[in-house]
Each structure stands twice: as structure tokens, then as C-alpha cells.
Amino acid sequence: MSELKPLLVFSGGMDSSYMLWKELEKGDVYTCYIKATQCQDKIPMELAARKKIIDFFEKKTGNKVITDTIVDLGNMFQATERSRWGSVRAQWNNNIPDHQFSQALVWPFALQFATDGRKHSKVCLGYVMGDQFAMHLGDMRMAWIHTSNYARNHQVPMEFPLMYDTKDRILNELPFEIIPDLWICELPKAVGEEVREATNPLEMERTGEEKFVACEKCPACETWAKTVFIWERRKKLNLQECIAKRLATLANESREVTDVEGTNPHEADGCSTQQSGERGIEAKLFLSHGSVRAGIRDQRKDSESEGVL
């Protein structure tokens, strides 16, 4: 029998990305994603972010995501409120963006479709101290235990490995270069809404012309803004500038390595004058310093990368 590995509920946000990183440092993992209660415009943004983040941390840790499971519950619930004469007064479904804890109603059930006791040692969710849902973690665990009556093979425990961490600590430790790839917003706004409505939606999806940006108003965006404010006040640094500097440093290093390999084969060890000068030392110090720092989402406004990736 193969060794059991943890199953991580991974959305592509800050907390779940940090959890993925720390679990990958221990060894290989499984991941899953649940389509159920999210704003539907958020799903493709999260899926795109997840792929980049998984690739990044696999290379960083040397371990891998064995399989990634997508559980799609679709439009699972549809409620219709009618008058005594049969007329419809209101309708709603499980995709309720303003329902803060709507995921708690369906996630334990959905996770039973992804969890397999023959492969998974535990199920991990990335809730953090200070999350609005944190006070309900015990209820979530109890819901998991009760729905495990329908589990595949046998029950596995549910854990919250970040429950004693804080968001500013996580932001402090995440690598700078991965921050622009995180997706945080719960209710993204479409860019060029008029064009999108006037064109065949299927065609827009195929051509990839539809873009979304963070709303900066949902609870997730507000929490992110508070976390960034705390980080900047404590570190006395601007996180956006730190990210830009980090990415520029990486780009310069890449060009320098290319130049050394292409024009100076006798110094293949990378000890050329250009690299060992003050500029190289500064870059090396910054890399060391940046390994325990973090940043905010890249909010570039150019047409090539408008919004948050």
C-alpha cells in the first residue's frame, strides 16, 4: 500500500497558497478545488492562479502535487418562495455572493467526493486566525464527521494547519515573486462590460478576451487591504514597490546569466566582474532579505495585465 498523503483544499488565494507551500516542503500532496458557492466569474481566475502557484511551489520545494481534483456541484440548490396563490415572490440558489458562510453548508459534503481514505491521510483547509469563519471551525469539523457516513472507504480527519497563524505573518513569509499570481477577490468586476455583453459569450471565452479585476469592496478585498496596511506600518515599506523591485531583480539576474553563458564561456561559474560587483552584492542581499517578506497583488494598469492575476 502506498504512503498516505494530505489532501489540501486549494483555491489560489494567499492562505491556501501558503498552506500548499508548507505542506509541499514536507512532501508530496494532493489538492482539490470545489465549484459550489463562489461567484461564477471568480472560478476561471482562481483556476488560472492555482496552476501558476502549483508550478512555482513544486519547483521551489522539489516535491509535487500528485493529482488535482475538481469537484463541481453546479447549481446545487434552487429555492423558490411562492405566495399561497402560486406566484413567485423570490428565488435564490447556493451561489450567494453576499452569504458570508454559504460555503459551510456544502463544503463538507462536496469534500466527500474528493476524499479517498486509500490515498489521503487527512483533509486540510487554510482558515487563519482572525478569519470571520474561524469561530466556526469546530462546527465545520463536526459537519465533516457527520457527513463522513457517506465517505469513500473510510473516514479521514479534517485539520486546519493555519488556525494559529495570522494573515500578516503569512504575508510576511510568502515569496515576493508569487504574490502577483494570487487571486483574492470574491466578486471580480468584468473589464469592458459593454463589449462583453455585445459579443457572443462563448466566443469571448474561446478567444480569452474577457478580463476581470478585483472589486476592492468584497470582504476578501477589505481583509487584504487591512493586512497590507498592517504589513506596511510594521515594516515601514511599500509592498507594491517591494514586489516591483523583486521582479526587476529576478529579471536582471536572468539577463546576466544569459550574458555570461553566451559571451563569456571561460567564466561559466558566474564569477564575472559584472556579477561580483556592487550591483551583484546588492541583489544577493535583497534576495536573502526577501525570502522572509511578502507583498500585495500586482495592480498594474497597463493593457497587457490589467487587474490582478
118 φ/ψ angles, rounded to the nearest 5 degrees? -80, -20
CB neighbours of 128 closer than 8 A, spacing ≥ 6? 15, 134, 162, 163, 165, 166, 167, 170
Residue of 107, 108, 78 lying closest to 95 (CA atoms): 78
Q: Where are the domains of the chain?
A: 5-78+91-181, 237-301
Please check whether residue 31 is in contact with residue 54, taking contact to mean a CB–CB distance below 8 angstroms.
Answer: yes
pLDDT for res 186 = 86
Between the alpha carbon of residue 54 and those of residues 25, 60, 132, 178, 255, the distances in Å are 13, 10, 26, 10, 25
CA 17/CA 3 separation, integer angstroms: 23
DSSP state of 166: B
Q: Which helix (H) or strand (E) holds 46?
A: helix 42-61
CATH H-level, domain 5-78+91-181: superfamily: HUPs (3.40.50.620)
At 303, give phi and psi (nearest 5°).
-65, -20
Q: What is the pLDDT of residue 225?
A: 93
Distance CA 181, CA 258 (A): 25
Residue 245's nearest CA partner among 304, 308, 300, 290 is 290
Task: Give 187's pLDDT tier (boundaries 50, 70, 90).
Answer: confident
Q: What's the chain's average pLDDT?
A: 76
According to DSSP H, which parts of 98-136 are helical?
Answer: 102-114
Q: What percent of the chain is modeled with pLDDT above 70?
A: 68
7-16, 130-139, 223-232: range with lowest mean pLDDT: 130-139
Write down the pLDDT at residue 241. Answer: 93
Return the C-alpha cell found at 51.
496552476
Instruction: Identify the top-confidence range among 34-43, 53-62, 140-149, 226-235.
Output: 53-62
Separation of alpha carbons 148 and 142, rounded Å: 10
Q: Percent helix, strand and coil across the chain, each rounded to 5?
A: 50, 15, 35
Comparing 99 with 305, the larger pLDDT belongs to 99
**What span, in angstroms and rounded, lies between the C-alpha atoms of 21 and 112?**
24
Q: Which helix (H) or strand (E) holds 44?
A: helix 42-61
Minimum mean pLDDT range among 69-83, 154-168, 210-224, 271-285? 271-285
79: β partners = 92
- Rounded CA-CA distance 111/10 in Å is 12
Per-residue pLDDT tens digits for 278-301: 433 333 333 333 333 333 333 333
Q: Report whether 39 contacts 97 (CB < 8 A).
A: yes
Question: CA 62, CA 24: separation in Å to the nearest integer?
Answer: 8
- Say how far apart CA 187 and CA 212 lie, in whole Å: 10
Q: Is the pLDDT of residue 137 over 90?
A: no
* Residues in Cβ contact with 205 at an 8 Å cutoff, skipping those fewer than 6 apart: none
123 neighbors 156 (Cβ within 8 angstroms): yes
CA distance 203 to 8: 34
Q: How far apart are the first and last CA of the chain?
A: 40
Look at residue 95 and tell me whether its pLDDT is greater than 50. Answer: yes
Q: What is the pLDDT of residues 68-79, one digit of tens each?
A: 999 988 765 667
User: Is pLDDT of 88 > 90?
Assistant: no
